[in-house]
Amino acid sequence: MGTLIGVEGIEVAYGDIPVVRGVSIEVREGEAVAVIGPNGAGKTTLFKAIAGMLKPRKGRIVYHGLPIDGLRLYDIVKKGIVYVPAERELFPQMTVLENLELGAFTNYKSRGERLKFVLGLFPRLEERRRQLAGTLSGGEQQMLAIGRGLMARPKLLLLDEPSTGLAPLFVKEMYHQLSRLKEEGLTILLAEQQVPHALAFSERAYVLENGEIRLFGKSKDLLGVPEIQRTYLGVT
Amino acid sequence: MNKNGYRADYVALLVVAVVLALVPVGVGGGSYYLRIATLMLIYMAYAVAFNIIFGHTRQLFLCFGALAGSSAYLSVILAKKLALSPWETIPLGILFAGLLGGAFSYVSVRRGLGVIFVGIVTLVFSMIFYNLILGLRELTNGETGLITKGLGAGVLEKARWSYYVILAVLMASLVLYHFLMRSRAGTAFRALTDDEFAAELVGIDVTLYKVLAASIGSALVGAVGAVYAYYSGFISPTVYSLVSVDIVVLVTLLLGGMGTLVGPVLGGVFFTVLDEIVRPLGRLNVLVYGVLMIVLFITFRHGLVAMLRKIGKLRIP
Amino acid sequence: MIAILVDGIVQGLQLSLMAVGITLIYGLGGVLNLAHGQFAVVGGIATALFVDKGLSPLVASSLGVLTAGVFGLVVDRTLLLPAYRSAGEERLLLGLLITLGLSFVVNGYLDFQYPNIALTLHLATPSVNVAGITVRTASAVTSLMAFLAFLLLFVFLKGTLLGKSVRSIIQNEVGAGLCGINPGRTRTLIVALSAMMAGLAGIAQGLFSSLGTEMGNELTTFALIVAVVGGVRSVNGTLVAGVLLGIVNAFASYYVGAYLTLIILLGTAVFTILLRPAGLFAYRT
C-alpha cells in the first residue's frame, strides 16, 4: 500500500496572510484519513490547495510520485482527485440527473454504468432524479455533491465537512455509504468538525490548528488523547 | 484619525489648488488652451461626484450627462421664461439633480438592484432624457439647443473669471469629498462597499448612506452642469449626452484612481492631454483613442494614484 | 392588429438575437461586452465587401458570419485576457473598459477605411403571403433565420455535452471546474458563437433596411437593455425580453410618434427591471 498523495511542507496564503504553514500530510492508497480542527484552522485551504484551486507559496504536493501543485482544478480532476467542497457547488437549475452526468464529464461515454452505481448507493437521489438540484434539501444536496464527485471515478476523494447542516440520522447514513466505498478501494481524505464520526471512520488523522499540524497518528490513539477529548469530544 | 493623518490630504489640496490656479498664467490667456483647461476642470469636478457615487458606494450611475443636463436645462429655461437671474435658478437645478439622483438611488436600493442593473436603468434614463429634450421642442429648442449668453450669468461669460469660478467649484467639491470621507458617512461608505450585508448587520443604514452619497454626488453634478451651461454660452442635448459626459467621466476617474482624493484631478489631466494628442489626427482619432484606452486600462487598471503610490512610495490621498 | 403583433415579434427576434450574445458572454466570462454591436457591424460589413467582390448574398452572408466569429475568437484570446486574469468586479470593470475601447477602435477603423460602405441586401420578391397575411420577404427570412438560430442554440445547450457544460459554467463556474470542465476553453468557443449570432443579426438588419458602420453603438445599447431585462445570465430570459420589447415597440410606433415610442420602450424596460430586479428569468444563486 504505497503513498497515493503526499503534501510536503506547503504554505498557502490569502494575499499576504498565510493560512496554512509548513503542513505535511500523507495519504496511502485505500486509506481513509481525517483532518480535524476548529473553524478557521485551514482545513478548507489545505483541501483547495490539493485540489488545485489555490497555489501554495512554498512546498509541494506529490501524487503518484509526480508534483501536481501547479495544476489547475479541472486538470487535477482528470488525474483522479475529486474535491467535494463544503459549499457543494451544485448546478441549481439542472436536475439531479444532469448534475450527476456532468460529474462524469471526464469520461462521459461510460457514464451509464457509473450512474447506476451511484444511484444504487444513494436511492433517495434515484427517486428525485428529475428534480432541480436547487430544490433539494440540505442532506439530499450533500448526497448529490458526493454522488457527482463519485461519477468522475476518483482515486482520491476529498470531502470537506460533509456533515455540515445535516441531521444526525443523515450523517450516519452518509458515513455508512462512505464505508462501502472505502471497501471498494477508494482513498478518502476528509475534513470534519464532527470529530467522533471522523475518528471512527478513518484509520489515521491529523489535527490542524491555526494553519499548522498539532498532532497526528492513528485515529484510535487520538481518541484517547486527553486534549483531543477535551477540545473536540466534549469530555470534561 | 488625528490631525496628522490628514496632512497628506491638506497638502494635496493645496498643491492642486496652486497648480491649477497657475495654469491660466502658464497658458497665457490664449483662449483655446484656456478653454481646454476650463473643460478639464469641469470633468475633474464631474469625476469627484462619480467618485462619491460609484467609487465609494458602488452605484454605477451612467446618467451623469442626463443629471447635469436636467439641472442645466431647468436653470436655463427658468431663467429665460421667468426672466430670473441664473444665480437664482442654478440652485434650483442643483436641487432638482440632487433629488433625482437620490430618487434613483432609493428605488435601486429598495428593489435590490445589482450594479449592472443600476447601470442599465440609469443608462436608459440617459436615453429617455435625451429624447425628452428632443421631443419637447417648444421648451428646449430640440436639437438646435439654447443660447445662454446674455441671461445675466455675468462672471461666467468672461473666460478668465470663469476659469477661477469653476476652479473654486472644483476645490469646493474636493474639500466636500475630504470632509465627507472623514465623517461617519465615509466610514459607512467604506463598510458598505466592502460587504453590504455585513454593514447592515453592524447597524449601518445602507439605504440612508447610499441615497446620501447619490444625492450629494448628483447635486454636485447638477452644479457643475448648470455652471457649464452658462460658461459655454450654449447648451444642446449632445452637450450632455452619454458620450460627451459619462464615458469621459468614467475614463477620467478610472484612469486617475477610484476612491482617492486626487484621482479625479490626475485623471482629468491625463484625459485632457490624451484628448489633445488625439484630436489633430483627424479621421483616425477615434481609432487611436480606442487603442490608447485599451492600452491604458490594461496598464493602469488600478489608476494612476495607485501606481504612483507604489513607485514613489508616497502617501498620495 | 395581428400584423402589428407579427411585426413586433419579428423585430423582437432580431433584438433577442443581438442580445443573446451578451447574455452568453457575461454568463461564461463575467464580462459585459460593450463592443457587441461592433461584432454585428463587422459581420455585416464583411458581407457587404464579399457581395462587392461578386459573391452571392448567401455565400457572402455565411462568410460574413464566419468573419464575425473569427473576430470574436481573436478578441477573446487576446484583448480580453487581462480581464480574465482578474476576478469578480475587477474583471467586470476591466472587461467593460477594454470592450469600450474596442468599440472605439472598430468604429474608428471602419469609419476611416470604409467611410461610405453600408450593407443593404435586396431580395427578389418584396413580399410574400404567409397564412393569409402579407409580410415583407425580408421579415419572413430574418424571422426564419433568428428562429433557426435560437432553435439550434437551444438544442445545443440542452442536448449536447458541450452545451450542458456551457450551462453548467453559467450556473456555477466553480462547480463546473470540479467536474473537470475547463471554463476558459469553453468560453472562447461561446464568445465566437456569440459574435457569429451578432453577425447574423447585423446581416438581418441589412436585409431589413441597411446596416451602416456607425450603427454599432446603437445595437450594443439595445442588446444590453434586452439582455439585462431578461436577466443578464438567462438565455430564455433574453429571448422573452427581446420579443416583449419588440412587440411594445411595434404597437407604440403604430399609435404614437418616434420620440414617444422610444420613451415608451425605454420606460417599459425600466419598469420590467424594477418589477423583477434580477431580470425576467433570474438565476437564483
pLDDT (tens digit, 9 = 90+) per residue, C107-121? Answer: 989 888 887 777 777
Q: How many CA atoms lie within 13 A of A197 on its CB side?
A: 21
Q: How many CA atoms lie within 13 A of B214 on its CB side?
A: 27
Under an 8 Å CB criterion, which residues of C touch A?
161, 164-165, 167-168, 171-172, 174-183, 283-285
Question: What pLDDT does residue C285 have?
Answer: 41
Question: What pLDDT does residue B4 have?
Answer: 60
E strand intervals along chain C = 118-119, 127-130, 133-136, 211-212
* Cα–chain center distance at B101: 13
Confidence of residue B277 (pLDDT cuts 50, 70, 90): confident
What predicted TM-score, i.e. pTM, was given to this entire model?
A: 0.87
Question: What pLDDT does residue C124 have?
Answer: 63
C48 touches chain B (CB under 8 A): no
Question: What pLDDT does residue A1 have?
Answer: 56
A44-48 mean pLDDT: 93
ipTM comes to 0.90
Instruction: Give the residue on A whose Cα is nearest the Cα of C163.
Output: A102
Burial degree of A64 (CB within 10 A; 0-12, 13-18, 19+): middle
B37-65 mean pLDDT: 94
Contacts of A108 in chain C (CB under 8 A): 161
The residue count for chain B: 317
C131 touches chain B (CB under 8 A): no
A95 touches chain C (CB under 8 A): no
Question: What pLDDT does residue C139 have?
Answer: 80
B144-160 mean pLDDT: 79
Which residue ranges form the domains of chain A, and what is each CATH number? 1-80+191-236 (3.40.50.300)
pLDDT (tens digit, 9 = 90+) per residue, C60-108? Answer: 889 999 999 999 999 999 999 888 888 778 888 899 999 999 999 999 8
- Radius of gyration for the alpha carbons in chain B, expressed in angstroms and rounded: 19
Residues 6+ positions from C232 with CB-CB distance below 8 Å:
B116, B117, C22, C23, C26, C27, C32, C279
- Judged against a pLDDT cut of 90, whether residue B106 lies above it is answered with yes
- Judged against a pLDDT cut of 60, whether residue B206 lies above it is answered with yes
Contacts of B283 in chain C (CB under 8 A): 111-112, 115
Mean pLDDT of chain B: 88
Question: What pLDDT does residue A2 have?
Answer: 75
Q: Which of A48-52, A105-109, A152-156, B307-311 has the lowest mean pLDDT?
A: B307-311
Cell of A208: 490542524
Handedness of CA B123, B125, B128, B130 (dihedral sign): negative
C179 to A90: CB separation less than 8 angstroms, yes or no: no
In the stretch 249-268 of chain C, residues with CB closer than 8 A to chain B read 259-260, 262-263, 266-267
Which helix H or strand E contains A67, and what residues bound it? Answer: strand A66-67
Cell of C107: 468604429
Rounded Cα gap, residues B205 and B227, in angstroms: 33
Q: Where do the domains of chain B lie?
A: 3-241
C41 touches chain B (CB under 8 A): no
Give yes or no for a contact between B230 and B153, defined as CB atoms under 8 angstroms apart: yes
Q: Looking at this protein, which amino acid is placed at residue A198?
A: A
Question: What pLDDT does residue A121 have?
Answer: 86
Rounded Cα gap, residues A190 and A208, in angstroms: 12
Which helix H or strand E contains B235, and what residues bound it? Answer: strand B234-235
Low-confidence stretches of chain C (pLDDT beneath 70): 123-126, 130-134, 283-285
The residue count for chain C: 285
Rounded Cα gap, residues B68 and B61, in angstroms: 12
Q: Which of A146-150, B31-35, C116-120 has the lowest mean pLDDT?
A: C116-120
A94 touches chain C (CB under 8 A): yes
- Judged against a pLDDT cut of 60, whether residue B1 lies above it is answered with no
- Judged against a pLDDT cut of 50, whether residue A67 lies above it is answered with yes
Give percent above pLDDT 90 in chain B.
Answer: 42
Burial degree of B106 (CB within 10 A; 0-12, 13-18, 19+): middle
Confidence of residue B153 (pLDDT cuts 50, 70, 90): confident
Contacts of B135 in chain C (CB under 8 A): 259-260, 263
Angle between helix C216-230 and C258-275 (nearest 10): 30
Rounded Cα gap, residues A139 and C205, in angstroms: 52
The strand pair at A156-160 and A81-84 is best described as parallel
A15-40 mean pLDDT: 89
B301 to C86: CB separation less than 8 angstroms, yes or no: yes
Which helix H or strand E contains A46, and what residues bound it? Answer: helix A43-51
